[in-house]
Structure 1
């Protein structure tokens, strides 16, 4: 399974919704605190781009030698229509400083020096140490996950439904099978949410024989999985 550090690093570098919370700023004005871009540096610090007149930039600029504590909150929502669409949340807390000269005109990059992080997702809840976050590598499928899940949900409904036959004791006759929606995908496997009657649902995880490194290897792994379900 992906480590907590890998999952958090993947979320930070994804397109998931993110909000920077700076104590003392009005939380009702959330829009100015949405970073326009974000990436992780070689030492594990998070770099966030904002308009130069953002309250977050003003707070970091006026602090001078004082530490400005902040928390980056990330919310991961499934890119397909499924019950309970929020797949997880992650929090990275630390201290803000301005990094002038990197962003274009009217923009400013803020560095969030990593203090600690926490993730609560489909795998569970866990804290992340600075060294683990720094050394973690984002999942190689993250950039394609939304498109791949949407494709599976819209174009492979029959194959997705056939995965119910791999559930062992939970296997049901075809006439009463729950609908199957792909809800998460990573290099280790596919997570499917089976939706039963009256809105009840459960997840099942289908692991690949070995981790995949790219979309080409993923196609082969999915073909093998669907072949097994068709037997």
Structure 2
């Protein structure tokens, strides 16, 4: 069988994966806190038909003679470049100006990371995300308003303050924690614009990490639609070209079979 058949198949598989990732990026172009994916290809092992030889005193060296066997997906990376902020004027919507993630805790007490700052207060005066996961403060406890609060505020350092009906600040305020990741590429998506870390999550004070929390804004997806559509055209043409390799290889095999007639 021709090597080009398997080579073409490997190309089809790789470009299909690329189209899948591009399609997911486009579908999440308006998803709050979404980080786009990127497919990286690498070549497959090459068959060596003749090895290389070093030059000698009487003759020059010979370069290797190798035939590549196709391509494969090396990785699907998540790109954590910042998304554009959009104004909502909702006082519990938060935007992280700088590097870092909010830390939320699910019903299984698992800590997860997110850049999506869509929070609201539940019946216990705790800040939670749309899935009911609790936002954690710098002490690792839920971010909660003091009892009897009728109003509140969140400053750029993440300090959550409650006020009584007379406008007096109540004791017991908390500070929203953030987590900074030196290598965000190790994070894995778990849905809901949430990420799981392979290492224990360390919560820090935003002020200590030169991070500001902006209220009334949300971070939108970092997907560039024009870039994704251009990549989609490239991937489509790559898929078509590899399909053509299979078609041409099939025609050559048909000619070989017909030699017997």
Range of TM-score over shorter length: under 0.3
Computing the radius of gyration from Cα coordinates, the structure with the larger value is: 2
- Of structures 1 and 2, the one scoring higher in RCO (CA 8 A, sep 6+) is 2
If the length of structure 1 is used for normalisation, what is the TM-score? 0.25
Larger % of helix: which?
1
After TM superposition, the score normalised by the length of structure 2 is 0.23
